Amino acid sequence: MRMAEPVALDGGDYALVRATIRVISESWREQPDLDAIANAVGTDPNHLHRVFTRWAGLTPKAFVQALTLDQARRMLDDSASILDTAYEVGLSGPGRLHDLFVTHEAMSPGAYKARGGGVTIAYGYHASPFGTALLMATERGLAGLAFADPGEEAKAFTDMAERWPAAAFVQDPAVTAPFARQIFDPGHWSHDRPLRLVFIGSDFEVRVWETLLRIPLGKATTYSDIARHIGNPKAARAVGSAVGRNPISFVVPCHRVLGRQGDLCGYHWGITRKKAILGWETGLVNRLSGFGDV
């Protein structure tokens, strides 16, 4: 199957898309038309349609449909069996043929207990389809990915740096730029060039994050299913805490964890951004399946 065309990476586009998603989320019961949405975000309807469709691979109307509760429940269909299959075939199974391929390792327990002591982490800010992305990397691979709204870059850095307070941080976007290109451009997703990750967390957190990596593009699962798959079915609440502390957003797809009834629940980087990522992925799945824009 031919790979989809790369999605345009434009931080300015996301500002408009974010505002559009907020308007849609607040007024979807009134089923606003394109003119009404464009008026609410202060732009021309044709411009909004063009930017939104280029960004998401979906029209604004189709994006609304992609975020309905019915669609969320379809994503959850057989969520337990999805993880069962993922464990059977591994991360390179056919269900992940067009997902972002990764290899990963966990930092030693000693380094985690030392709160990152002895570890040097390079960081940089980069444009992404979901606003400014803060990437953090060690010599062994990507260790962190966060998102920041305009003016909140320092807040995002503090949030991430506090996870490993004894680590040494060096701002070096030249180190993190290759990771950004590989992550946010599907044209660079290749089984032959996997993205290297390094997890810095407790043993329990690492097991949860490894399970998140097994949720395929276009699918979702629940906290309780994850708890069952790590061998602790009564630990759904603890799983929720570990999911919330996922340090490598988007790549480790915590956004694909939904409530049992299909509700979107919270997201550390904002529920609007979670909706944006899920809708963007729906558009990508459509293109990969040959459906094109809808």
What is the SS3 string spanning the chain?
CCCCCCCCCCHHHHHHHHHHHHHHHHHHHHCCCHHHHHHHHCCCHHHHHHHHHHHHCCCHHHHHHHCCHHHHHHHHCCHHHHHHHHHHHCCCCHHHCCCCCEEEEECCHHHHHCCCCCCEEEEEEECCECEEEEEEEECCEEEEEEEECCCCHHHHHHHHHCCCCCCEEEECHHHHHHHHHHHHCHHHCCCCCCEEEEECCCHHHHHHHHHHCCCCCCCCECHHHHHHHCCCCCCHHHHHHHHHCCCECCCCCHHHECCCCCCCCCCCCCHHHHHHHHHHHHHHHHHHCCCCCC
Q: Judge whether 265 counts as a catalytic residue.
A: no
Sequence-ordered list of residues with C-beta below 8 angstroms from that of 139, at least 6 positions apart, any chain = 120
Contact 61, 49 (CB under 8 A): no
Distance in angstroms (rounded) separating the CA atoms of residues 278 and 258: 11
Distance of CA 162 to the CA centre of its chain: 21
Q: Which amino acid is at 270?
A: G
Which is catalytic among the residues 254, 257, 264, 284? 254
Tokens of 279: 């809708």
Q: Which are the catalytic amino acids?
A: 254
